[in-house]
Chains A and B, each alone.
Chain A
Amino acid sequence: MNFWSITLDLLVGFGETLKIFGVTLALALPLGLIIAFGSMAKFKPLSALTRGIVWVVRGTPLMLQLIVVYYGPGIVFGTPIFSAYSATYITFTVNYACYFSEIYRGGIQSITKGQYEAGQVLGMTKSETFFKVILLQVVKRIIPPMSNEIITLVKDTSLARIITYYELIYFAQRYIKNGGILWPLFYTAVYYLVFTALLTVFFRWLEKKLDYFKA
């Protein structure tokens, strides 16, 4: 059990961690936008329902949500529906989409009415105005809160372990169980730190990239 073989083994574990991260982002970013529109809908029952869901999801622990989604169906229907993988992806996606939706909503509502009105008097449709004019301004404004959430997601992935999703922390804990070696668990911090450093650099680059206009 030398240092390098453990490093490689943990890298495999980190690959599993990155899967949760990647799938959650890819699905929660668009889903969050849809939820944001739902909570801003003029049709009252829809906005009330959406806000209710967001309240429940943001108001309960992610760990509890994982347990309910993974074990719940088995208790109710007598047979489990989701594998650890799908339960993890579903729960993380919905959970993060709800947080994202509130960030989107704040961003969208901070854009002045004049931008929409300019689009309208120039004969643009509502969706053209949104996608060609509003969205990039929203993106620029929400980068700081979004980068916060996304960095939190990197570390939240470790919660998936409790429903037997084998990610980085699980890989490290096996060394304790099998040989009483503790240091790989501490060593996992390096993986998280390096990855969040890369994300930080990326978000700073993105912010710079959108620095050419004021919104």
Chain B
Amino acid sequence: MKMLEVKNLCKRFGSNEVLKGVDLALNKGEVLSIIGSSGGGKTTLLRCLNFLEKADSGEILVGGKSVYHAVDGQKPVVSAEAQLSFGLVFQQFNLFPQYSVLGNLMLAPKLRAKRKSTEGPRETAEQIAARAQKLLETVGLTDKANAYPCELSGGQQQRVAIARALMLEPDILCFDEPTSALDPELTGEVLKVIRSLKDSERTMIIVTHEMEFARHVSDCVIFMADGVIEEEGTPEEVFDRPKSEKTRAFLSKTC
């Protein structure tokens, strides 16, 4: 069974068709990279998967269960667990400035524990704090637990954002150009963290302009152009033996 299946996803902004029927499937533990020039629909696809945009039509299944189903012109059917099936790391980090690093990690899980009324024991504040400490270790920021976002470098902020997303234990973790807002010398530390997540069998989707990174971290690469998947395959297939003329043109410009 596939971890994620996306079927015929379409999205329009006014008369501008940004996604023209996107299909994809991903196994548990696989890493998918999405490349392509801006305006190709990469970010919109990621935003639709995280429900920041509502796809006009199409279906999203997680672990075989439909979490989002939309038919043109009708109100989409969204399941309760849809949002937390996905996590998203933003290009601009979007940390909460008034909370410490630890506070950023713990806010949403604490609120969730407070809200949760049925099935299973609530997570206690101590348990949440313990998980947060552990994730800070994973991203190498134990010593910054009590720092505020404004005291951190961009690379550190993005690592906090990754840990914050992992606190909710999403089935699929998405990255929207996670290193595009960083100084070149800071991208390495973020990419290293993402690579370490791959080793721990995280299912991930990464929109990126870092071609070398995409080649090494991905199980599967998608090249998007004009709202469709122009080419998909293993990194070797897409980067070394691209079939599509558009892919070749794009890669010759960036690599």
Interface of A toward B, CB cutoff 8 Å: 112, 114-115, 117-125, 128, 132-133, 136-137, 140, 210, 212-215
5 CB-based A-B contacts, threshold 8 Å: A120-B52, A123-B83, A124-B108, A133-B96, A210-B98
Of the candidates A115, A122, A140, A212, the one having the most CB atoms from chain B within 10 angstroms of its own CB is: A122
Extra contacts besides A112-B94, A121-B86, A123-B168 (9): CB < 8 Å: A114-B94, A115-B94, A117-B52, A119-B108, A120-B51, A121-B83, A121-B165, A213-B98, A214-B150
B111 A132 Cβ-Cβ under 8 A: yes
Q: Does B107 contact A (CB under 8 A)?
A: yes
Closest to B111 in A: A128
**A contact patch SS:** helix
Of the candidates A121, A125, A137, the one having the most CB atoms from chain B within 10 angstroms of its own CB is: A121
B98 A123 Cβ-Cβ under 8 A: no
* Cα distance, A128 to B112, chains bound together (Å): 10
A115 B96 Cβ-Cβ under 8 A: yes
* Cα distance, A213 to B83, chains bound together (Å): 29
Pick from B51, B90, B98, B148: contact of A118, CB below 8 A.
B90
Closest to B84 in A: A123
Q: Does B88 contact A (CB under 8 A)?
A: yes
Closest to A214 in B: B150
A214 B97 Cβ-Cβ under 8 A: yes
A114 B112 Cβ-Cβ under 8 A: no
A141 to chain B, nearest CB (A): 11
Interface of B toward A, CB cutoff 8 Å: 50-52, 83-84, 86-88, 90, 92, 94-98, 107-108, 111-112, 115, 148-150, 164-165, 167-168
Closest to A121 in B: B88
Contacts of A118 in B (CB 8 A): 90, 94-96
A212 B148 Cβ-Cβ under 8 A: yes
* Cα distance, A122 to B170, chains bound together (Å): 9
Contacts of A117 in B (CB 8 A): 52, 88, 90, 94
* Cα distance, A119 to B90, chains bound together (Å): 12
Contacts of A120 in B (CB 8 A): 50-52, 83
B97 A215 Cβ-Cβ under 8 A: yes
Closest to A215 in B: B97
Given contacts A114-B90, A121-B50, contact A215 B168 (CB under 8 A): no
Closest to A132 in B: B107
Closest to A212 in B: B148
Closest to B112 in A: A123
Contacts of B83 in A (CB 8 A): 120-121, 123
B52 A122 Cβ-Cβ under 8 A: no
Contacts of B94 in A (CB 8 A): 112, 114-115, 117-118
A122 B108 Cβ-Cβ under 8 A: yes
A121 B97 Cβ-Cβ under 8 A: no
* Cα distance, A115 to B98, chains bound together (Å): 12
B111 A213 Cβ-Cβ under 8 A: no
Of the candidates A137, A213, A214, the one having the most CB atoms from chain B within 10 angstroms of its own CB is: A213
A207 to chain B, nearest CB (A): 14
* Cα distance, A17 to B47, chains bound together (Å): 54
